Amino acid sequence: MAIREPVLSHVDRAVSAPPMPSARRRKWGPGFDDGLMGVALLAGPANVIMELALPGVGYGVMESRVESGRADRHPIKRARTTFTYLAVATRGTDEQKKAYRRAVNKSHAQVYSTPDSPVEYNAFDKNLQLWVAACLYKGGVDVARVFIGEMDDETADRHYRESAALATTLQVPAEMWPADRAAFDQYWQESLHKLHIDDTIREYLYPFAVSRIRGVRLPKRVQEPLEQFNLLITTGFLPQRFRDEMHLDWTPDKQRKFDRLMARIRFVNNLTPRAIREFPFNLLLRDVDWRIRTGRPLV
């Protein structure tokens, strides 16, 4: 039996809500020590699926000529560059953001469609970049709601304004970032009509959904339960629209399992020192400074 997403207030509709928010979670406001940088990695595969659900992004990533940046062939390196981008965009200095923007531009120059591509795309397309940034913002809000609860209006507005850096650290002009959360919700709802995951992209994305690393095979009795466990987490963080595109089943029983698992992780995360909770993002910012200083590539 499929689960419908809850009906929420105008402000909370769509982007502000995870798949099944719990009324038991407490509100949080300015000064609340979130410490969610590390645990947010759990939602990473779901965010990749959301981003690539827009055909131009999906085929742009799958057909990328940047060999070292291909997530299907070099998942560890791609993860490092993606996590570093998030760290720089949300907590980096102006110098770090400028340096990373230049590095991303250099890579994006090699990503564009050919006559054989099923859809037309260009990595410099600001609309595609805006969608990627929007998914990252939504993913962050979803994680916060799952592990902490509702933001008060002041905190939510401040977080939204700060999240504009997710777009401007790419090539998105500041004026393209929707003016406020209500405008973002409208943008998100309109964008949902443009999404489609075909069989080719779905096959490409499934290994991400189960966190399967290319070339690494464990015994079947270990591999299958592990992949089902990872799939539960990924599907739990996906809104229903994306589950449908991926042909991923979701039931009340799976929702309960997901909620229980997140509750356990939340309990452990709250007891963990902040430096550990923020790993690896805290170290990645130091790595960026080291790479800039020594002239090593950032992406």
Within a domain: 25: no
| Within-domain flag for 162 | yes
* Residue 230 CB-density burial (10 A; 0-12 exposed, 13-18 middle, 19+ buried): middle
Establish if 24 belongs to a structural domain.
no
Mention every residue, 6+ apart, whose C-beta is less than 8 A from residue 148: 25, 26, 28, 32, 34, 36
Q: How far is it, in rounded angstroms, from Cα 1 to Cα 22?
A: 20
In-domain check, residue 42: yes
Position 168, amino acid: T
Q: What is the pLDDT of residues 159-212, one digit of tens each?
A: 899 999 999 988 899 999 999 999 999 999 999 999 999 999 999 999 999 988
Name the CA radius of gyration of the chain, rounded. Answer: 19
Query: Is there a domain that residue 189 lies in?
Result: yes
Residues 63-105 pLDDT 10s: 887 665 566 666 666 677 777 877 788 778 888 888 888 888 7
Read off the DSSP letter of residue 180.
S
Provide the domain count of the chain: 1
Residue 79 lies in a domain: yes
Range(s) of the domain holding residue 260: 34-294
In a domain, 286, yes or no: yes
> Looking at residue 205, what is its pLDDT?
94
Q: How far is CA 79 from CA 41, 71, 296, in A?
A: 10, 8, 17
Q: In which region does residue 182 sit, left (phi positive, over 0), alpha (psi from -120 to 50) or beta (all else)? A: alpha
pTM here is: 0.84
- Biggest CA–CA distance in the chain, Å, is 55
Task: Please list, in sequence order, all residues whose beta carbon lies within 8 angstroms of the beta carbon of residue 180, skipping any fewer than 6 positions away.
Answer: 157, 160
